[in-house]
Amino acid sequence: MQILLIGLNYRTAPVEVRERFSVDESVLEQTLQDLLAMSGVREAVIVSTCNRTEIYAVTNHRTRGEQDVRELLSRVSGLPVDAFVSYLYTAVDHHAVTHLYRVVSGLDSMVVGETQILGQVRHAYLYAQSANATGPVLNQLFRSAVSLGKRVQTETTIGQSAVSVSYAAVSLAKKVFDSLAHKTVLVIGAGKMSDLTLTHLTAQGVNRIFIVNRTLERAKEMAQRFGGRAFPLDQLAQALFEADIVISSTGSKEYVLTYSLLSDLMRQRKQRPLFCIDIAVPRDIDPALGRVTNIYLYDIDDLQGVVAANVALRKQESLRVEEMIQEEAAAFATWLLEQEVVPLIADLRKKAVEVQESVMDSLAHKLPELDERQMKVLQKHTMSIVNQLLREPIAQIKEMAVEPNGAEAMAAFARIFGLSDFLQERVSGVEDQVLPTFPEVRGDATRLEETAAERSCSRVDKRDAHSRDWNGTTTPAIALSAL
């Protein structure tokens, strides 16, 4: 049995590719059932968001399981496997588990530490569970993942510090106004920085957004995506009159917000406070406006100081989260390896009960004068003897099963107690059954062999300092925090 992950995300595939693999909830149940109908998959969860599509599966045969998952992705996308395999990444057992833990912790997100992904993963798991697509392994894995994600949010500050200028701008506005939900935000400019700023604003619940741009069509396109209202540049004063917060990022060589424009406008606004953040280089807002009563002006240098301090903080917090991930992965590995001993213990108990019942039958035959009450007393005491004799061997084999030589210990245990059924099952399934590899517990993990998909990820890694090493480690936390 192995845990298999195959997926693609914002690092390995552009949006025009990712959207082909998006699994809408209206077809999610059928997609899960199609996957489970394949011979190589026993359990499955599909996580599909705007930034990633990932399939987690339990399989008895890795090669067959990979083939089945890729075939399903081919059906979903309508593309032949050869057309998209270079966008995929693959991980097994420990590496699949730690990847999921990094996802729910926010370490694998475009904005490191963001919390929305935890809810999305939880929803994907609960949906798969309701569709009877999960079993004991993925149930335990995803419950532990959700629990870890909650701990990361409550025990660390990984998602609370701004490490990009656009995020810092929104964070600064949130600190000033506490809540942005009912504020009117004016974004000047429709470039990449404005796009990122709007992404962060909507994540904070802002629902009244004005966008001013020299090219109105570009402003309209952005307004449609973010649920805002577009203005041409000649209506800037009208938008400013209603705004509580202004965030400006254009490519203008001259000031967009001049002293004369805003000083006059503030009188019309009856000195209602205006919070201005200038993230443009060269600056969009005349710095003299910082001296105008009730205008609170911050420029990119102010924000860079915040970012620099927070990068160091996030690096420290990322290391804390990594420690939590490894602890949780070790706990899950121990649980998983303990499950291997469950059939052995069940066989032992079954055999012990059969012996006890045989003894009771013999007593009933040889001592017919015993009444019902006496037989119940004998039943109780003989069962007590059985339980006391089994208690220590069962406790010992549970401990031995998770040690590096656990498989050999279980086989020896089965031979000692004459559990032929268990031995036969192990022998008959040896070609197809592969013990999961968890280096923290077993100590014998082999390097994940590099598939074509992983080689593609390696190519992405060379281009993108933020990408992941799919052999179970992460890039330096400072690179992660810069996402």
pLDDT range class, residue 334, cuts 50, 70, 90: confident
Determine the distance from the C-alpha atom of residue 464 to the mean position of all C-alpha atoms in its chain, rounded to a whole number: 20
Please give the structure tokens belonging to residue 296. Answer: 């609170």
CATH of the domain at 252: 3.40.50.720
Cα dihedral 269/271/273/275 (nearest 10): 70
Examine the domain organization and report whether 49 and 89 are in the same domain.
yes
Examine the domain organization and report whether 108 and 209 are in the same domain.
no
pLDDT the model gives residue 472: 37
Q: How far is CA 380 from CA 356, 367, 385, 386, in A?
A: 10, 17, 9, 10
**Three-state secondary structure call for residue 230:** strand
Whether 120 has a binding-site annotation, put simply, is yes
Examine the domain organization and report whether 258 and 346 are in the same domain.
no
SS3 content of the chain, % helix, strand, coil (to 5): 60, 10, 30
Determine the distance from the C-alpha atom of residue 267 to the mean position of all C-alpha atoms in its chain, rounded to a whole number: 50
In-domain check, residue 369: yes
Whether 189 has a binding-site annotation, put simply, is yes
In-domain check, residue 256: yes
* Mean pLDDT score of the chain: 83
Whether 115 has a binding-site annotation, put simply, is yes
Task: Give the least confident one: 91-95, 322-326, 338-342, 351-355.
Answer: 338-342
pLDDT the model gives residue 303: 79
Backbone phi and psi for residue 244, each to the nearest 5 degrees, phi listed first: -100, -30
**Res. 132: pLDDT tops 70:** yes
Examine the domain organization and report whether 456 and 353 are in the same domain.
no
pLDDT range class, residue 344, cuts 50, 70, 90: confident
In-domain check, residue 325: no
Examine the domain organization and report whether 461 and 434 are in the same domain.
no
Please give the structure tokens belonging to residue 138. Answer: 């993925």
HEC string of 357-420 equals HHHHHHHHHHCCCCCHHHHHHHHHHHHHHHHHHHHHHHHHHHHHHCCCCHHHHHHHHHHHCCCH
User: Which residues face 274 on adjacent strands?
Assistant: 295
Task: Give the least confident one: 47-56, 282-291, 341-350.
Answer: 341-350
pLDDT range class, residue 280, cuts 50, 70, 90: confident
Provide the residue range defining the domain that includes 276.
165-308
pLDDT the model gives residue 405: 82
**Res. 70: pLDDT tops 70:** yes
Residue 259, Cβ neighbours under 10 Å: how many? 15
pLDDT the model gives residue 27: 94
If one compares 201 and 460, the residue with the highest pLDDT of the two is 201
pLDDT the model gives residue 313: 78
**Res. 411: pLDDT tops 50:** yes
If one compares 21 and 201, the residue with the highest pLDDT of the two is 21
pLDDT the model gives residue 436: 56
**Res. 430: pLDDT tops 60:** no
Count of domains observed in the chain: 3
- State what percent of residues in the chain have pLDDT above 90: 54
Whether 49 has a binding-site annotation, put simply, is yes
Picking from 275, 308, 341, the residue at the C-terminal end of a domain is: 308
pLDDT range class, residue 422, cuts 50, 70, 90: low
Examine the domain organization and report whether 296 and 349 are in the same domain.
no
Whether 190 has a binding-site annotation, put simply, is yes
Examine the domain organization and report whether 285 and 416 are in the same domain.
no
In-domain check, residue 322: no
pLDDT the model gives residue 473: 33
Examine the domain organization and report whether 301 and 174 are in the same domain.
yes
| Catalytic site positions | 50
pLDDT the model gives residue 460: 34
pLDDT the model gives residue 440: 43
Picking from 291, 308, 325, the residue at the C-terminal end of a domain is: 308
Per-residue pLDDT averaged across 249-264, rounded?
A: 91
Cβ density class 179-194: b for 16+ within 10 Å, e for less = ebeebbbbbbbbeebb
pLDDT the model gives residue 257: 95
In-domain check, residue 222: yes
Examine the domain organization and report whether 193 and 277 are in the same domain.
yes
Answer for the pair 326, 98: CB distance below 8 angstroms, yes or no: yes
What single letter denotes the amino acid at residue 79?
L
Per-residue pLDDT averaged across 335-346, rounded?
A: 84
Per-residue pLDDT averaged across 95-111, rounded?
A: 92
pLDDT the model gives residue 289: 94
If one compares 180 and 239, the residue with the highest pLDDT of the two is 239
Examine the domain organization and report whether 400 and 366 are in the same domain.
yes
pLDDT range class, residue 403, cuts 50, 70, 90: confident
End-to-end CA distance of the chain: 36
Whether 199 has a binding-site annotation, put simply, is no
pLDDT the model gives residue 200: 82
Whether 154 has a binding-site annotation, put simply, is no
Q: Starting from the edge strand earliest in sequence, which strands make up the sheet with 89-92, in order?
A: 43-48, 52-59, 2-9, 89-92
Q: Find the length of the chain.
A: 483
Examine the domain organization and report whether 84 and 11 are in the same domain.
yes
Whether 78 has a binding-site annotation, put simply, is no
pLDDT the model gives residue 424: 65
What single letter denotes the amino acid at residue 298?
Y
In-domain check, residue 145: yes
Whether 388 has a binding-site annotation, put simply, is no
pLDDT the model gives residue 455: 31
**Res. 480: pLDDT tops 50:** no
Examine the domain organization and report whether 349 and 432 are in the same domain.
yes
- The tens digit of pLDDT for each residue in 139-198 reads 999 999 999 999 999 999 887 665 677 777 887 788 778 788 889 999 999 988 888 888
pLDDT range class, residue 466, cuts 50, 70, 90: very low
pLDDT range class, residue 425, cuts 50, 70, 90: low
In-domain check, residue 313: no
pLDDT the model gives residue 458: 35
pLDDT range class, residue 90, cuts 50, 70, 90: very high
In-domain check, residue 215: yes
Whether 410 has a binding-site annotation, put simply, is no
CATH of the domain at 151: 3.30.460.30
Dmax over Cα atoms in the chain, in whole Å?
113
- The tens digit of pLDDT for each residue in 360-395 reads 999 999 999 999 999 999 999 999 999 999 999 988
pLDDT the model gives residue 4: 97
Whether 19 has a binding-site annotation, put simply, is no
pLDDT the model gives residue 162: 59
